[in-house]
Amino acid sequence: MPVLRPDLKSSTEQSVSMDRKYSITKKVVLKNTDGSVSEGRDVYVLNNGAKNFMLIMTDALDDKITELINPIDTLPRKNKYSADYSSGKMSLVSIRDGRSAGKISFFIHFEKSNAACIGELKGEAIMKTANTAVYQVGGDPCQLQFIFSSSAVTLKEIEGCGSRRGLNCSFDGSFAKKKVSKSANKSK
């Protein structure tokens, strides 16, 4: 079995390693044009009975998420702030009606610094004023404030939500309200 076939591309680096149990790991690192890095890997193990190597795992090189899936998209949107807000293709703040009066359900996913920092949080926040909601759960240090306007929502991380995001960024930011298509609006 050939373990390495150079591709002569300056944007890729390839390596092969073998452990004591004769597992072979082939790794390809691709430097993307946007400055980010993608990594792919194939792992083979020795099948003694067949006297050959079998592929047991593949992490595809282009396995990056290219489209967000909103887990609360089908929830009701009757509240005046219930909408989707975005800041780029891979950053979304989705607000829907809460399970009871005075609450909102939300899903947040953001990517900053060419996906070097990714954060995600889903939960329910309490409306504190006419245009401000706060997410806070007992026993959890994460505290997040939502400030709504007619065309955007601004997030402020009041207390550390580090377990739900990268270390060098925060949930802080402003997200513009997305326009709802007429066909999507009729089905809600």
Determine the 3-state secondary structure of 70 from DSSP.
coil
- Cα 132 from Cα 138, distance rounded (Å): 19
Give the tens place of pLDDT for each residue, 94-150: 999 999 999 999 999 988 877 678 889 999 999 999 999 999 988 888 999 999 999
Please tell me the distance from the alpha carbon of residue 153 to that of residue 175, in angstroms, as a whole number. 5
Please give the pLDDT value at position 67.
65
Q: Indicate if the pLDDT at residue 176 is higher than 90.
A: yes
For position 188, what pLDDT does the model report?
A: 47
pLDDT, residue 187, reads 46
DSSP state of 180: P
SS3 4: coil
Average pLDDT on 78-97 reads: 92
**Minimal CA–CA distance to 174: which of 91, 95, 100, 117?**
91
Q: What pLDDT sits at residue 62?
A: 65
Tokens representing 162 are 């580090």
pLDDT band of residue 66 (cuts 50, 70, 90) is low
Read off the pLDDT band of 65 (50, 70, 90).
low
- For the residues 59-77, what does the mean pLDDT come to? 76
Q: Which of 112, 80, 111, 109 is nearest to 96 (CA)?
A: 80
Mean pLDDT, the chain, integer: 85
Which residue matches tokens 């997200």?
Answer: 175
Examine the pLDDT at 12 and tell me if it is beyond 70: yes
Separation CA 124–CA 51 (nearest Å): 56
Task: Return d(Cα 91, Cα 110) in angstroms, integer.
Answer: 4
Cβ pair 134, 123 in contact under 8 A:
no
- What is the average pLDDT across 73-98? 92
For the chain, give the percent of residues with pLDDT over 90: 38
Whole-angstrom distance, CA of residue 183 vs CA of residue 42: 44
Res. 16: pLDDT tops 70: yes
Cβ pair 58, 42 in contact under 8 A: yes
